[in-house]
Structure 1
């Protein structure tokens, strides 16, 4: 069935391609945050274990909303580890100690990278691709990542 929502197929495809990259970034960040939750060590273990859990729960909701936005544009969301690793702007893993500050620093960098990627697409989605809905949608996602990054920064003492 055709997707007739007032946006050309070519524009919906371009937006969906960028959203697929965002979904891949979200999935990689989610996985890295899960890793932090599972493997953090140190005197602040309990507090950080719970903190990382709250962050990966937020990311789970974000991933679902990005995938559903792609589907609402009439395209399929990538859904394999291989495709996520091919599409992501993030690195999968870096060697470090399993202390909270190491995890925080890496996760913060990833959130900031996603924020920059989103910010770079807001105007293009609205103006170039005539998709104000997705522009508004990713603006909200950017604000969520900005808040999550702030929370990470508030824990960082290094």
Structure 2
């Protein structure tokens, strides 16, 4: 039996926000998987630096995935959780080969920026519904991904 949710956000707004957060979750999970893959497979003169940096990034992304999914649940919607659902929702491309280190960095810059755009696209809906917890989550995610993109860009400048 489903309980009524009365948190001051209309049901249709909660649903629209959760749809946007599902896209953000899919992008974040896809970026997590790609970053973890690159952590495992990076080679070359920057190996130690990139291996460590990628590990820090995928660990942060693992936490983010949980926070985003839990916000979706707090809004009363089921969070997507399968590869198929994530593949259908994500704006990121998978990497099935093993590119060189510079290409790994370039891909991650592009993907970090894409996640920022996804988060930013959800923000107006959350703001219009006075959903401060989601707006706060989105602001934090944008800040982290913008900083990470800058740090990665700096390595190939």
Q: TM-score range by the shorter chain?
A: over 0.9
* TM-score, structure 2 as length reference: 0.92
Task: Tell me the distance in 2 between the aligned counterparts of 1:27 and 1:156.
Answer: 24
Alpha carbons 1:11, 1:130 under 8 Å: kept: no
Q: Which residue of 1 aligns with 2:146?
A: 146
Q: Which residue of 2 aligns with 1:115?
A: 116
Question: How far apart are 1:133 and its partner, in Å?
Answer: 2.3
Question: Is the aligned partner of 1:6 residue 2:8?
Answer: yes
Q: Which residue of 1 aligns with 2:94?
A: 92
SS of the residue aligned with 1:22? helix
Q: Which residue of 2 aligns with 1:126?
A: 127
Residues 31-54 of structure 1, C-alpha deviations (whole Å, 9 max, x = no match): 000111011111221221111101
Structure 2: any 5+ residue segments left out of the alignment? none
Q: How does 1:1-150 map to 2 (within 5 A)?
A: 1-93=3-95, 95=97, 97=99, 99-127=100-128, 129-150=129-150
* TM-score, structure 1 as length reference: 0.92
Residues 84-125 of structure 1, C-alpha deviations (whole Å, 9 max, x = no match): 00110111126563x221100001101111111212221221
Task: Tell me the distance in 1 between the aligned counterparts of 2:60 and 2:78.
Answer: 22
Alpha carbons 1:16, 1:70 under 8 Å: kept: yes
> How many residues matched?
155
RMSD, matched Cα: 1.4
Task: Tell me the distance in 2 between the aligned counterparts of 1:94 and 1:115.
Answer: 23
Task: Tell me the distance in 2 between the aligned counterparts of 1:63 and 1:156.
Answer: 27
Structure 1: any 5+ residue segments left out of the alignment? none
